[in-house]
Amino acid sequence: MKEDSPFTPGSPVPADLFIGREKTVKEILRYIGQTGSGKQENIFLAGDRGIGKSSLASFIRHLAVNEKNFIGTHVFLGGASTLEEVVRCALEHILKTSKTQNIYGKITDLFGDLRKYINEVGAFGISVSFNPPPEQLHHLVLNFADAISGILEKIKEEQKSGLILILDDINGLTETPDFANWYKSLTDHIATHYKDFPLLMILIGLPQLRDRLAEKQPSLMRIFRLVDIDRLSEGEVKQFFLNSFSKVNTKIQSDALDLMIKYSSGLPIFMQEIGDSIYWTDNDSFVDVKDAISGITVAANRIGAKYLDPKVYGAIRSKTYRAILRKLGEKIGKEKWADISNFKRKEIEKILDEEEKPNLDNFLKKMQDLGITIADLEGGVGAYTFTNQLYPIYIMIESLEHKKRVDGPLFEKVGKTSD
């Protein structure tokens, strides 16, 4: 029987398997130090989907709580599009967190008349909900700084260093102009009314949305420390696989490890999907090349369905383009596993029909516009590289699946059918 997988595709990584980002962590710890001495700080953490923003924030919270004596709360605002919802979620999460930190009584006292809208839910009343009516909520939106100030007083009475409030996935909010204005006047109010305000707020969103916020409200962005995160290095991905597999007493053959690193392309989300698929594929606590290849294929399929299908197959409606993409997939299927990340225009042209050929250049341009390939400068004119190593695998799988739909099950033909 297999134990639980050490991998966490789709949710923030636990602190003990968090890898890399040392410089960024150090930088943020410096801001936490400032916060501890009473200065209100604001960080905007930006990066693409799946790059590891929530994981970094969660790791920072872990450090701040365990090593710097802070209270930390991480709020996911995915569905929120109003200030009322932000404030409600933030206060609800602070209540939840205070419950685990033994300051719950003190914090709820602060809520005064609003206490009747706090409910303990779940087994043993472990979780908390906070649902005040609209007019009260509106009042809290306008007086958020004062509400937080009261909470900070209680936190200080408990000899804690301060509060870290992480507002994650604010993407729905950047569209509402109120948000920028509210945030700006919140920090202005704090700066002019309070001398000691040990609060660090970390806002998390996509880089495009941060840029849009900056356009709408340039003076807002000046209050933020901007932190951007990007791909992990090969060395970090390697260390991640070694750490995670050693947790479940599994060894990795070095060629297999090279493939796993290559196909992760430095993207944490890919690294997790690949690790998880391989974990469930391997059955002798030794990951060899065969395990790696079948795990990577499963991961590519999963990732393709989640990220690439909408982006590529959804965007490429033209029948001719799709036919070209499938031929590209067939060609990839015939390559050696190690050389599938590049291709040349003239090799594709060779395998196209007469009516497909005139569309090839537009097809190649479309692939570049969609961010799937880039010109491979080292490969010379007409050479392309996939921006992500799993794209070619997915394109190959899609073309095989398509062939299966058209020609009947693939394995029947080679006499390997199992059902």
Ligand X SMILES: Nc1ncnc2c1ncn2[C@@H]1O[C@H](COP(=O)(O)OP(=O)(O)O)[C@@H](O)[C@H]1O
Q: Do 147 and 91 form a contact (C-beta atoms < 8 A)?
A: yes
Q: Which stretch binds ligand X (CB under 6 A): 11-19, 62-70, 125-133, 387-395?
A: 11-19
Instruction: Select 143 or 246, whichever has its Cβ closest to ligand X.
Output: 246
Neighbours of 251 (CB within 10 A): 15
21 binds, among ligand X, Mg ion, none (CB under 5 to 8 A by kind): ligand X
CB-based closest residue to Mg ion? 54
Using left for φ > 0, alpha for ψ between -120 and 50, and beta otherwise, residue 95 falls in: alpha
CB 10, min distance to ligand X, A: 5
CB 358, min distance to ligand X, A: 40
Single residue of 35, 97, 265, 272 touching ligand X by CB under 6 A: 272
Number of residues that bind Mg ion (CB under 5 A): 2
Instruction: Select 41 or 276, whichever has its Cβ closest to ligand X.
Output: 276
CB 59, min distance to ligand X, A: 7
CB 55, min distance to ligand X, A: 3
Nearest in space to 140 (alpha carbons), one of 151, 155, 127: 151
Q: Which stretch binds ligand X (CB under 6 A): 36-44, 105-113, 211-219, 266-274?
A: 266-274
Single residue of 172, 268, 304, 392 touching ligand X by CB under 6 A: 268
d(CA 363, CA 357): 10
Single residue of 18, 31, 44, 111 touching ligand X by CB under 6 A: 18
Q: Which stretch binds ligand X (CB under 6 A): 51-59, 120-128, 189-197, 283-291?
A: 51-59
Does position 53 interact with ligand X (CB under 6 A)? The reply is yes
CB 311, min distance to ligand X, A: 16
CA atoms within 13 A on the CB side of 56: 32
Neighbours of 68 (CB within 10 A): 17
Using CB under 6 A as the binding rule, the residues of this chain from 192 to 251 that contact ligand X are 240
d(CA 1, CA 414): 33
392 binds, among Mg ion, ligand X, none (CB under 5 to 8 A by kind): none
Single residue of 54, 250, 320, 341 touching ligand X by CB under 6 A: 54
CB 14, min distance to ligand X, A: 8
**Looking at this protein, which amino acid is placed at residue 258?**
D
CB 101, min distance to Mg ion, A: 24
Number of residues that bind ligand X (CB under 6 A): 23
Tally of residues, the chain: 419
d(CA 156, CA 154): 5
CB 251, min distance to ligand X, A: 20
Does position 171 interact with Mg ion (CB under 5 A)? The reply is no
Does position 127 interact with ligand X (CB under 6 A)? The reply is no
Mask for 45-64, x = binds Mg ion (CB under 5 A):
--------xx----------
Which residues have a Cβ under 8 Å from the Cβ of 333 and sit 6 or more positions away? 396, 399, 400
CB 54, min distance to Mg ion, A: 3
Give me the residues that bind ligand X (CB under 6 A), please: 8-13, 17-21, 47, 49-55, 240, 268-269, 272
